Amino acid sequence: MATPIPTTNDFTQFFEDVVPPESFDEKKAQMDSFIKSQSECKRKIVLITSGGTTVPLESRTVRFIDNFSIGTRGATSAEYFLKQGYAVLFLHRQRSLQPFCQRIDRNVLDDLHVSTDGSDTVTVNPESLQRLLPVVRDYHRFKDTGVICQLEFTTLTEYLLLLRAASMSLRVCGPRAMLYLAAAVSDFYVPHGQMPEHKIQSSEGALQLTLEMTPKMLKPLVKEWVPQAFIVSFKLETNPSLLMEKARGALRRYQHQMVIANILETRKREIFIVTLNSEEEIRLSEADIQSGREIEEPLIQKLSEFHSNLLSSQPAT
The reply on whether position 205 binds its own copies by CB under 8 A is: yes
Residue from 4, 15, 30, 64 in contact with its own copies (CB under 8 A): 64
Q: Which of residues 177-196 bind its own copies (CB under 8 A)?
A: 184, 186-188
- Residue 174 region by backbone torsions, left for phi larger than 0, else alpha for psi between -120 and 50, else beta: left
Q: Counting contacts by CB under 8 A, is residue 141 touching its own copies?
A: no
Q: How many CB atoms lie within 10 A of CB 204?
A: 8
- State phi, psi for 190 to the nearest 5 degrees: -100, 115
16 or 120: whose CB is closer to its own copies?
Answer: 120
What's the closest the beta carbon of residue 230 comes to its own copies, in angstroms? 25
Q: Under the criterion CB under 8 A, does residue 207 sit at the interface with its own copies? A: yes
* Residue choice 19, 29, 101, 289 for contact with its own copies (CB under 8 A): 101
Which of 4, 18, 43, 66 forms a contact with its own copies (CB under 8 A)? 66
What is d(CA 39, CA 86) in angstroms, rounded to the nearest whole number? 11
Per-residue burial over 20-46, b if 16 or more Cβ lie within 10 Å, else e, is eeeebeebbeebbebbeebbeeeebbb
* DSSP, res 7: S
State in angstroms the smallest separation of the CB of 264 from its own copies: 6
Interaction between residue 253 and its own copies (CB under 8 A): no
Query: H or E stretch including 300?
Result: helix 296-312
Nearer to its own copies, 107 or 312 (CB): 107
Per the CB < 8 A criterion, the answer to whether 116 and 133 are in contact is no
The strand pairing partners of 93, in sequence order, are: 153
Residue 31: CB minimum distance to its own copies, A: 19
For position 76 contacting its own copies by CB under 8 A, the verdict is no
* Amino acid letter, 255: Q
Of the candidates 18, 136, 172, 244, which one interacts with its own copies according to CB under 8 A?
136
User: Does 124 help bind its own copies (rule: CB under 8 A)?
Assistant: yes
**Complex with its own copies: residue 250 or 258, whichever CB lies closer:** 250
Measure the CA–CA gap between 276 and 149, rounded to whole angstroms.
32
Among residues 1, 41, 109, 287, which is the contact residue for its own copies, using CB under 8 A?
109
Query: Is 95 a binder of its own copies (CB under 8 A)?
Result: yes
Rg (Cα) of the chain, in Å, rounded?
21
Going from the C-alpha of 178 to that of each of 74, 82, 105, 116, 154, the distances in angstroms are 14, 13, 30, 50, 23
According to the 3-state scheme, what is the secondary structure of 155-184? Answer: EHHHHHHHHHHHHHHHHHHHHHEEEEECCE
Length of the chain: 317
308 sits near its own copies (criterion: CB under 8 A): no
Strand 278-283 to strand 270-275: parallel, antiparallel, or no bridges (unpaired)? antiparallel
112 binds its own copies (CB under 8 A): yes
CB of 117 to its own copies, least distance (A): 13
205 or 292: whose CB is closer to its own copies? 205
- Contacts with its own copies by CB under 8 A lie at 54, 57-58, 60-68, 70, 95, 98, 100-101, 104, 106-109, 112-114, 120-124, 129, 132-133, 135-137, 139-140, 143, 184, 186-188, 197-202, 205-214, 236-239, 242, 264-265
